[in-house]
Amino acid sequence: MSVTGEGGWYPLMLSADLAPDTTAGSTMLGRDLAVWRDGQGQAHVWDDRCPHRGMRLSLGFVREGALACLYHGWRFGADGRCVHIPAHPDLSPPGTIRAAPLRVAERWGLIWAAAADEGGALPEDDPALAAVSWVPVRSLRIEAPWQGVAGAIGLPEGELAAVLDRDVDGRVLAALLPVGEGACMLHLLAAELAEVARLHDLADWGQDVRARAEERAGQVFLAGAVA
Amino acid sequence: MSALVLYDDELDEDCYRVRLFLSLLGVEARRVVVDVVPGGEQDSAAFRAVSPAGVLPVLRMDGQAVCGAQAVLLALAHGRAEWLPEGAADFARVVHWVQFAGGPLRAALLMRRASLFAGVGDEQSARRRAAVAALRIVEDHLAHRWLDGGQWVVGEGPTVADIALFPTVALCRDWGEEHSAYPALRRWVRAVRALPGFVTMPGIPDYG
Protein backbone atom coordinates (compact mmCIF):
# COMPACT_ATOMS: atom_id res chain seq x y z
CA MET A 1 0.00 0.00 0.00
CA SER A 2 2.97 2.23 0.28
CA VAL A 3 3.22 4.98 -2.31
CA THR A 4 6.87 5.68 -1.62
CA GLY A 5 9.06 4.77 -4.55
CA GLU A 6 7.89 3.30 -7.81
CA GLY A 7 6.95 -0.14 -6.55
CA GLY A 8 3.78 0.74 -4.68
CA TRP A 9 0.34 -0.76 -4.92
CA TYR A 10 -2.59 1.35 -6.03
CA PRO A 11 -6.29 0.78 -5.30
CA LEU A 12 -7.92 0.91 -8.74
CA MET A 13 -11.56 0.20 -8.03
CA LEU A 14 -14.06 -1.63 -5.87
CA SER A 15 -14.09 -5.37 -6.57
CA ALA A 16 -17.89 -5.13 -6.74
CA ASP A 17 -17.63 -2.77 -9.71
CA LEU A 18 -15.98 -5.37 -11.95
CA ALA A 19 -18.42 -8.15 -12.85
CA PRO A 20 -17.12 -11.41 -14.38
CA ASP A 21 -16.56 -11.21 -18.15
CA THR A 22 -16.48 -7.41 -18.22
CA THR A 23 -13.87 -4.73 -18.82
CA ALA A 24 -13.35 -1.31 -17.29
CA GLY A 25 -10.90 1.55 -17.61
CA SER A 26 -8.77 3.06 -14.89
CA THR A 27 -5.97 5.60 -14.68
CA MET A 28 -3.11 5.35 -12.20
CA LEU A 29 -0.85 8.40 -12.00
CA GLY A 30 -1.61 9.24 -15.62
CA ARG A 31 -1.08 5.65 -16.81
CA ASP A 32 -4.21 4.37 -18.58
CA LEU A 33 -5.16 0.83 -17.66
CA ALA A 34 -7.57 -1.82 -18.87
CA VAL A 35 -9.09 -3.76 -15.98
CA TRP A 36 -10.99 -6.94 -16.75
CA ARG A 37 -12.32 -10.01 -15.00
CA ASP A 38 -12.43 -13.45 -16.57
CA GLY A 39 -15.23 -15.99 -16.17
CA GLN A 40 -13.38 -17.65 -13.28
CA GLY A 41 -13.46 -14.38 -11.36
CA GLN A 42 -9.76 -13.53 -11.72
CA ALA A 43 -9.06 -9.82 -12.23
CA HIS A 44 -6.43 -8.66 -14.73
CA VAL A 45 -4.84 -5.23 -15.16
CA TRP A 46 -2.99 -4.31 -18.35
CA ASP A 47 -1.76 -1.18 -19.98
CA ASP A 48 -4.70 0.15 -21.95
CA ARG A 49 -3.15 -0.34 -25.35
CA CYS A 50 -3.57 -3.09 -27.92
CA PRO A 51 -0.16 -4.25 -29.24
CA HIS A 52 -1.66 -4.32 -32.74
CA ARG A 53 -2.85 -0.78 -33.43
CA GLY A 54 -2.79 0.91 -30.04
CA MET A 55 -6.55 0.79 -29.54
CA ARG A 56 -7.72 1.06 -25.95
CA LEU A 57 -8.27 -2.48 -24.67
CA SER A 58 -10.64 -1.21 -21.97
CA LEU A 59 -13.20 -0.68 -24.75
CA GLY A 60 -12.96 -4.36 -25.68
CA PHE A 61 -14.82 -7.43 -24.50
CA VAL A 62 -14.14 -10.72 -22.76
CA ARG A 63 -14.54 -13.94 -24.77
CA GLU A 64 -13.49 -17.43 -23.71
CA GLY A 65 -11.25 -16.23 -20.92
CA ALA A 66 -9.45 -13.72 -23.14
CA LEU A 67 -9.73 -9.97 -23.64
CA ALA A 68 -10.64 -9.07 -27.23
CA CYS A 69 -9.79 -5.71 -28.75
CA LEU A 70 -12.79 -3.85 -30.13
CA TYR A 71 -10.87 -2.75 -33.23
CA HIS A 72 -9.77 -5.99 -34.97
CA GLY A 73 -10.79 -8.60 -32.41
CA TRP A 74 -7.29 -9.76 -31.50
CA ARG A 75 -7.62 -11.78 -28.30
CA PHE A 76 -5.16 -11.83 -25.42
CA GLY A 77 -5.10 -14.50 -22.72
CA ALA A 78 -4.56 -14.11 -18.99
CA ASP A 79 -0.77 -13.81 -19.39
CA GLY A 80 -1.21 -11.06 -22.00
CA ARG A 81 -0.13 -13.21 -24.95
CA CYS A 82 -2.11 -13.00 -28.15
CA VAL A 83 -4.14 -16.19 -28.58
CA HIS A 84 -6.31 -15.42 -31.60
CA ILE A 85 -6.29 -13.15 -34.65
CA PRO A 86 -9.68 -13.28 -36.43
CA ALA A 87 -8.25 -12.22 -39.81
CA HIS A 88 -5.84 -15.20 -39.63
CA PRO A 89 -7.79 -17.84 -37.72
CA ASP A 90 -5.33 -20.65 -38.53
CA LEU A 91 -2.28 -18.70 -37.43
CA SER A 92 -0.77 -19.47 -34.06
CA PRO A 93 0.25 -15.95 -32.97
CA PRO A 94 3.92 -15.59 -32.00
CA GLY A 95 4.62 -15.18 -28.28
CA THR A 96 6.12 -11.75 -28.84
CA ILE A 97 2.69 -10.26 -29.49
CA ARG A 98 1.74 -9.50 -25.96
CA ALA A 99 -0.34 -7.04 -23.96
CA ALA A 100 1.43 -5.60 -20.92
CA PRO A 101 0.06 -7.08 -17.67
CA LEU A 102 0.62 -5.44 -14.30
CA ARG A 103 0.68 -7.33 -11.05
CA VAL A 104 -2.76 -7.43 -9.51
CA ALA A 105 -4.21 -8.32 -6.13
CA GLU A 106 -7.69 -8.27 -4.62
CA ARG A 107 -7.86 -7.45 -0.94
CA TRP A 108 -10.50 -5.97 1.33
CA GLY A 109 -13.01 -5.47 -1.45
CA LEU A 110 -10.59 -3.57 -3.69
CA ILE A 111 -8.64 -4.34 -6.86
CA TRP A 112 -4.99 -3.31 -6.51
CA ALA A 113 -2.30 -3.00 -9.16
CA ALA A 114 1.44 -2.58 -8.80
CA ALA A 115 3.04 0.27 -10.69
CA ALA A 116 6.31 -1.56 -11.36
CA ASP A 117 7.24 -5.12 -12.30
CA GLU A 118 9.73 -5.57 -9.50
CA GLY A 119 9.99 -4.32 -5.96
CA GLY A 120 7.16 -3.75 -3.57
CA ALA A 121 5.68 -6.72 -1.77
CA LEU A 122 2.04 -7.63 -2.18
CA PRO A 123 -0.27 -5.46 -0.10
CA GLU A 124 0.57 -6.78 3.32
CA ASP A 125 -2.03 -8.22 5.57
CA ASP A 126 -2.74 -5.38 7.89
CA PRO A 127 -4.52 -6.92 10.92
CA ALA A 128 -6.87 -3.94 11.20
CA LEU A 129 -7.98 -4.48 7.61
CA ALA A 130 -8.08 -8.26 7.68
CA ALA A 131 -10.12 -8.50 10.91
CA VAL A 132 -13.42 -7.63 9.22
CA SER A 133 -14.95 -8.07 5.81
CA TRP A 134 -15.63 -4.84 4.00
CA VAL A 135 -18.89 -3.85 2.33
CA PRO A 136 -18.44 -1.71 -0.79
CA VAL A 137 -20.21 1.65 -0.53
CA ARG A 138 -19.11 3.68 -3.53
CA SER A 139 -16.27 5.36 -5.39
CA LEU A 140 -16.13 9.05 -6.22
CA ARG A 141 -13.95 10.93 -8.65
CA ILE A 142 -12.53 14.07 -7.04
CA GLU A 143 -10.96 16.79 -9.17
CA ALA A 144 -8.36 17.88 -6.66
CA PRO A 145 -4.77 16.79 -5.92
CA TRP A 146 -4.79 13.43 -4.12
CA GLN A 147 -2.34 14.60 -1.45
CA GLY A 148 -4.83 17.17 -0.20
CA VAL A 149 -7.63 14.59 -0.09
CA ALA A 150 -5.37 12.10 1.71
CA GLY A 151 -4.58 14.70 4.35
CA ALA A 152 -8.17 15.82 4.71
CA ILE A 153 -9.53 12.34 5.40
CA GLY A 154 -6.62 11.40 7.65
CA LEU A 155 -4.68 8.79 5.67
CA PRO A 156 -1.29 8.17 7.30
CA GLU A 157 1.66 9.70 5.48
CA GLY A 158 2.66 7.57 2.49
CA GLU A 159 -0.43 5.35 2.59
CA LEU A 160 -3.22 5.15 0.03
CA ALA A 161 -5.62 3.19 2.23
CA ALA A 162 -6.47 3.10 5.90
CA VAL A 163 -9.22 2.33 8.38
CA LEU A 164 -10.68 5.64 9.44
CA ASP A 165 -12.61 6.27 12.60
CA ARG A 166 -13.93 9.77 12.26
CA ASP A 167 -16.75 11.95 10.98
CA VAL A 168 -19.12 9.03 10.47
CA ASP A 169 -20.33 6.19 12.65
CA GLY A 170 -18.32 2.99 12.69
CA ARG A 171 -15.21 1.86 10.90
CA VAL A 172 -14.56 3.02 7.38
CA LEU A 173 -12.00 1.75 4.90
CA ALA A 174 -10.97 4.61 2.65
CA ALA A 175 -8.66 4.06 -0.32
CA LEU A 176 -7.38 6.70 -2.69
CA LEU A 177 -6.27 6.26 -6.31
CA PRO A 178 -4.16 9.10 -7.66
CA VAL A 179 -5.50 9.45 -11.22
CA GLY A 180 -3.19 12.28 -12.19
CA GLU A 181 -1.90 15.61 -10.94
CA GLY A 182 -5.30 17.09 -10.20
CA ALA A 183 -7.68 14.15 -9.83
CA CYS A 184 -8.20 11.06 -7.73
CA MET A 185 -10.77 8.38 -7.02
CA LEU A 186 -11.91 7.89 -3.42
CA HIS A 187 -13.16 4.37 -2.62
CA LEU A 188 -15.25 3.86 0.51
CA LEU A 189 -16.14 0.62 2.25
CA ALA A 190 -17.84 -0.03 5.58
CA ALA A 191 -17.20 -2.77 8.14
CA GLU A 192 -19.71 -5.55 7.69
CA LEU A 193 -23.01 -5.59 9.54
CA ALA A 194 -23.38 -1.90 8.92
CA GLU A 195 -27.00 -0.81 8.64
CA VAL A 196 -28.12 0.54 5.28
CA ALA A 197 -28.70 4.00 6.75
CA ARG A 198 -25.05 4.08 7.77
CA LEU A 199 -23.98 3.18 4.23
CA HIS A 200 -26.00 6.15 2.96
CA ASP A 201 -24.32 8.38 5.57
CA LEU A 202 -20.93 7.20 4.39
CA ALA A 203 -21.82 7.85 0.73
CA ASP A 204 -22.96 11.35 1.72
CA TRP A 205 -19.74 11.88 3.65
CA GLY A 206 -17.83 11.01 0.47
CA GLN A 207 -19.76 13.68 -1.43
CA ASP A 208 -18.88 16.12 1.34
CA VAL A 209 -15.18 15.24 1.14
CA ARG A 210 -15.36 15.73 -2.63
CA ALA A 211 -17.03 19.14 -2.38
CA ARG A 212 -14.60 20.46 0.22
CA ALA A 213 -11.48 19.14 -1.54
CA GLU A 214 -12.56 20.64 -4.85
CA GLU A 215 -13.41 23.96 -3.23
CA ARG A 216 -9.92 24.11 -1.74
CA ALA A 217 -8.52 23.31 -5.20
CA GLY A 218 -10.60 26.09 -6.76
CA GLN A 219 -12.78 23.64 -8.66
CA VAL A 220 -16.47 24.23 -8.15
CA PHE A 221 -18.90 22.01 -9.99
CA LEU A 222 -22.37 23.46 -9.88
CA ALA A 223 -25.24 22.27 -12.02
CA GLY A 224 -27.89 24.72 -13.04
CA ALA A 225 -30.49 25.74 -15.51
CA VAL A 226 -29.20 25.62 -19.07
CA ALA A 227 -30.43 28.00 -21.69
CA MET B 1 -53.49 4.89 -32.67
CA SER B 2 -52.91 6.05 -36.20
CA ALA B 3 -49.49 5.55 -37.78
CA LEU B 4 -46.68 7.34 -35.96
CA VAL B 5 -44.24 9.59 -37.83
CA LEU B 6 -40.87 10.43 -36.26
CA TYR B 7 -38.87 13.43 -37.50
CA ASP B 8 -35.41 12.19 -36.74
CA ASP B 9 -31.71 13.06 -36.90
CA GLU B 10 -29.48 9.99 -36.59
CA LEU B 11 -26.65 11.70 -34.67
CA ASP B 12 -28.84 13.69 -32.29
CA GLU B 13 -29.09 12.23 -28.83
CA ASP B 14 -32.54 13.73 -28.26
CA CYS B 15 -33.79 11.82 -31.29
CA TYR B 16 -32.02 8.70 -30.03
CA ARG B 17 -33.98 8.97 -26.76
CA VAL B 18 -37.16 8.48 -28.77
CA ARG B 19 -35.78 5.80 -31.13
CA LEU B 20 -34.60 3.85 -28.09
CA PHE B 21 -37.95 4.12 -26.32
CA LEU B 22 -39.92 3.15 -29.43
CA SER B 23 -37.71 0.10 -29.83
CA LEU B 24 -38.05 -0.92 -26.18
CA LEU B 25 -41.81 -0.57 -26.54
CA GLY B 26 -41.82 -2.51 -29.80
CA VAL B 27 -43.69 0.35 -31.48
CA GLU B 28 -43.05 1.22 -35.12
CA ALA B 29 -42.86 4.75 -36.48
CA ARG B 30 -42.23 5.96 -40.02
CA ARG B 31 -38.97 7.94 -40.00
CA VAL B 32 -38.55 11.28 -41.72
CA VAL B 33 -34.85 12.18 -41.73
CA VAL B 34 -34.03 15.82 -40.93
CA ASP B 35 -30.55 16.83 -42.07
CA VAL B 36 -29.32 19.05 -39.22
CA VAL B 37 -25.54 18.80 -39.78
CA PRO B 38 -24.56 20.03 -42.28
CA GLY B 39 -27.93 20.70 -43.90
CA GLY B 40 -29.49 23.00 -41.29
CA GLU B 41 -32.82 21.59 -42.34
CA GLN B 42 -34.34 22.21 -38.90
CA ASP B 43 -34.60 25.86 -39.91
CA SER B 44 -36.31 25.20 -43.22
CA ALA B 45 -39.83 26.52 -43.73
CA ALA B 46 -41.05 22.98 -44.32
CA PHE B 47 -39.75 21.71 -40.97
CA ARG B 48 -40.82 24.84 -39.08
CA ALA B 49 -44.33 24.14 -40.30
CA VAL B 50 -44.11 20.88 -38.32
CA SER B 51 -42.06 22.14 -35.37
CA PRO B 52 -42.47 25.92 -35.04
CA ALA B 53 -39.39 26.29 -32.78
CA GLY B 54 -37.26 23.99 -34.92
CA VAL B 55 -37.05 21.46 -32.08
CA LEU B 56 -36.17 17.82 -32.76
CA PRO B 57 -37.38 15.15 -32.40
CA VAL B 58 -41.01 15.46 -33.41
CA LEU B 59 -43.47 12.61 -33.14
CA ARG B 60 -46.68 13.01 -35.05
CA MET B 61 -49.36 11.02 -33.28
CA ASP B 62 -53.11 11.19 -33.83
CA GLY B 63 -52.72 14.40 -35.82
CA GLN B 64 -50.72 16.15 -33.08
CA ALA B 65 -47.06 17.06 -33.63
CA VAL B 66 -45.37 16.48 -30.24
CA CYS B 67 -42.09 18.43 -30.18
CA GLY B 68 -39.07 17.74 -28.00
CA ALA B 69 -37.67 14.54 -26.48
CA GLN B 70 -39.15 14.86 -22.99
CA ALA B 71 -42.63 15.59 -24.33
CA VAL B 72 -42.46 12.70 -26.81
CA LEU B 73 -41.24 10.27 -24.14
CA LEU B 74 -44.06 11.21 -21.78
CA ALA B 75 -46.63 11.06 -24.57
CA LEU B 76 -45.46 7.57 -25.53
CA ALA B 77 -45.32 6.42 -21.89
CA HIS B 78 -48.85 7.59 -21.16
CA GLY B 79 -51.07 4.65 -20.25
CA ARG B 80 -48.10 2.27 -19.81
CA ALA B 81 -47.84 2.02 -16.04
CA GLU B 82 -44.60 0.00 -16.12
CA TRP B 83 -42.85 2.93 -17.80
CA LEU B 84 -44.77 5.79 -16.19
CA PRO B 85 -46.04 4.76 -12.74
CA GLU B 86 -49.57 5.81 -11.84
CA GLY B 87 -48.97 6.18 -8.10
CA ALA B 88 -48.46 9.84 -7.19
CA ALA B 89 -45.09 9.41 -5.44
CA ASP B 90 -43.40 7.37 -8.15
CA PHE B 91 -45.00 9.45 -10.91
CA ALA B 92 -43.49 12.54 -9.25
CA ARG B 93 -40.06 10.88 -9.06
CA VAL B 94 -40.17 9.91 -12.73
CA VAL B 95 -41.19 13.33 -14.02
CA HIS B 96 -38.57 14.91 -11.74
CA TRP B 97 -35.84 13.01 -13.61
CA VAL B 98 -37.43 13.56 -17.02
CA GLN B 99 -37.33 17.28 -16.28
CA PHE B 100 -33.73 16.98 -15.08
CA ALA B 101 -32.79 15.33 -18.39
CA GLY B 102 -34.27 18.28 -20.27
CA GLY B 103 -32.90 20.86 -17.81
CA PRO B 104 -29.54 20.78 -15.97
CA LEU B 105 -28.35 17.69 -17.88
CA ARG B 106 -28.57 19.68 -21.13
CA ALA B 107 -25.18 21.11 -20.18
CA ALA B 108 -23.74 17.68 -21.05
CA LEU B 109 -25.65 17.55 -24.32
CA LEU B 110 -24.32 20.99 -25.26
CA MET B 111 -20.77 19.93 -24.34
CA ARG B 112 -21.08 16.97 -26.69
CA ARG B 113 -22.51 19.02 -29.53
CA ALA B 114 -19.77 21.60 -29.14
CA SER B 115 -17.06 18.91 -29.02
CA LEU B 116 -18.34 16.99 -32.04
CA PHE B 117 -19.64 19.71 -34.28
CA ALA B 118 -18.01 22.98 -33.25
CA GLY B 119 -14.71 21.97 -31.66
CA VAL B 120 -13.94 23.32 -28.20
CA GLY B 121 -10.63 22.93 -26.45
CA ASP B 122 -11.17 24.52 -23.07
CA GLU B 123 -11.84 21.53 -20.87
CA GLN B 124 -12.09 23.65 -17.73
CA SER B 125 -14.86 25.74 -19.19
CA ALA B 126 -17.87 26.70 -17.13
CA ARG B 127 -19.93 24.58 -19.47
CA ARG B 128 -17.86 21.48 -18.73
CA ARG B 129 -18.19 22.01 -14.98
CA ALA B 130 -21.94 22.36 -15.25
CA ALA B 131 -22.06 19.21 -17.37
CA VAL B 132 -19.89 17.24 -14.93
CA ALA B 133 -21.99 18.51 -12.03
CA ALA B 134 -25.15 17.28 -13.73
CA LEU B 135 -23.63 13.84 -14.40
CA ARG B 136 -22.61 13.67 -10.75
CA ILE B 137 -26.17 14.33 -9.62
CA VAL B 138 -27.27 11.22 -11.51
CA GLU B 139 -24.18 9.29 -10.32
CA ASP B 140 -24.83 10.20 -6.68
CA HIS B 141 -28.50 9.27 -6.99
CA LEU B 142 -27.70 5.86 -8.51
CA ALA B 143 -24.95 5.21 -5.94
CA HIS B 144 -27.54 5.70 -3.19
CA ARG B 145 -30.11 3.62 -5.06
CA TRP B 146 -27.57 0.79 -5.28
CA LEU B 147 -27.11 0.84 -1.49
CA ASP B 148 -30.85 0.15 -1.23
CA GLY B 149 -30.57 -2.69 -3.75
CA GLY B 150 -32.07 -0.58 -6.54
CA GLN B 151 -30.74 -0.76 -10.09
CA TRP B 152 -32.95 1.85 -11.76
CA VAL B 153 -33.54 5.56 -11.38
CA VAL B 154 -37.01 5.05 -9.89
CA GLY B 155 -38.61 1.87 -8.53
CA GLU B 156 -37.97 -1.77 -9.28
CA GLY B 157 -37.75 -1.62 -13.08
CA PRO B 158 -36.80 0.72 -15.90
CA THR B 159 -39.07 3.72 -16.39
CA VAL B 160 -39.20 6.54 -18.88
CA ALA B 161 -36.86 8.40 -16.48
CA ASP B 162 -34.07 5.93 -17.31
CA ILE B 163 -34.69 6.39 -21.02
CA ALA B 164 -34.72 10.20 -20.73
CA LEU B 165 -31.34 10.17 -18.95
CA PHE B 166 -29.58 7.31 -20.72
CA PRO B 167 -28.31 8.81 -24.01
CA THR B 168 -26.66 11.86 -22.49
CA VAL B 169 -24.98 9.77 -19.79
CA ALA B 170 -23.87 6.98 -22.12
CA LEU B 171 -22.45 9.46 -24.67
CA CYS B 172 -20.30 11.44 -22.21
CA ARG B 173 -17.10 9.92 -23.63
CA ASP B 174 -17.78 12.01 -26.75
CA TRP B 175 -16.79 15.10 -24.75
CA GLY B 176 -13.99 13.50 -22.77
CA GLU B 177 -15.67 12.15 -19.63
CA GLU B 178 -14.60 8.56 -18.97
CA HIS B 179 -17.11 6.14 -17.51
CA SER B 180 -14.40 4.95 -15.12
CA ALA B 181 -15.00 8.16 -13.16
CA TYR B 182 -18.67 7.21 -12.67
CA PRO B 183 -18.95 3.62 -11.39
CA ALA B 184 -22.68 3.84 -10.60
CA LEU B 185 -23.46 5.23 -14.06
CA ARG B 186 -21.32 2.54 -15.67
CA ARG B 187 -23.25 -0.19 -13.84
CA TRP B 188 -26.58 1.38 -14.86
CA VAL B 189 -25.52 1.86 -18.51
CA ARG B 190 -24.82 -1.89 -18.62
CA ALA B 191 -28.29 -2.62 -17.22
CA VAL B 192 -30.00 -0.38 -19.79
CA ARG B 193 -27.98 -1.92 -22.62
CA ALA B 194 -29.22 -5.37 -21.56
CA LEU B 195 -32.92 -4.45 -21.87
CA PRO B 196 -34.85 -6.44 -24.49
CA GLY B 197 -35.26 -4.30 -27.60
CA PHE B 198 -32.28 -2.06 -26.80
CA VAL B 199 -30.88 -0.23 -29.83
CA THR B 200 -27.66 1.72 -29.94
CA MET B 201 -26.35 4.81 -31.70
CA PRO B 202 -22.79 5.79 -32.69
CA GLY B 203 -20.81 6.64 -29.55
CA ILE B 204 -22.68 4.44 -27.09
CA PRO B 205 -20.16 1.99 -25.62
CA ASP B 206 -20.82 -1.63 -26.61
CA TYR B 207 -18.99 -3.14 -23.64
CA GLY B 208 -17.53 -2.22 -20.26
How many Å lie between the alpha carbon of A137 and the closest alpha carbon of chain B?
7
pLDDT band at A125 (very low <50, low <70, confident <90, very high): low
pLDDT of B74: 98
Domains, in order of start, for chain B:
5-77 (3.40.30.10), 88-193 (1.20.1050.10)
Domains, in order of start, for chain A:
9-104 (2.102.10.10), 125-216 (3.30.70)
Q: What is the mean pLDDT of residues A91-98?
A: 87
CA distances from A122 to A9, A17, A117, A178, B59 (A): 8, 22, 12, 19, 59
pLDDT of B119: 64
CB contact under 8 Å between B190 and A22, yes or no, is yes
Task: Give the tens place of pLDDT for each residue, A33-60.
Answer: 999 999 999 999 999 999 888 889 999 9
Taking a C-beta distance cutoff of 8 angstroms, is the pair A44, A104 a contact? yes
Chain A hits for B188, CB-CB cut-off 8 Å, are none
Measured over the CA atoms of residue B41, residue B47, residue B52 and residue B54, the dihedral's sign is negative
pLDDT band at A2 (very low <50, low <70, confident <90, very high): very low
Q: What is the mean pLDDT of residues B198-202?
A: 95
| Closest listed residue to residue A173, CA positions, set A153, A194, A148, A190 | A190
Q: What is the mean pLDDT of residues A193-214?
A: 93
pLDDT of A192: 84
How many Å lie between the alpha carbon of A166 and the closest alpha carbon of chain B?
21
In this structure, the number of other CB atoms found within 10 A of the CB of residue A202 comes to: 23
Distance (Å, whole) CA B44 – CA A222: 36
CB contact under 8 Å between A141 and B103, yes or no, is no
As a whole number of Å, the end-to-end CA separation of chain A is 47
For A203, the closest chain B residue by CA position comes to B144
pLDDT band at A7 (very low <50, low <70, confident <90, very high): low
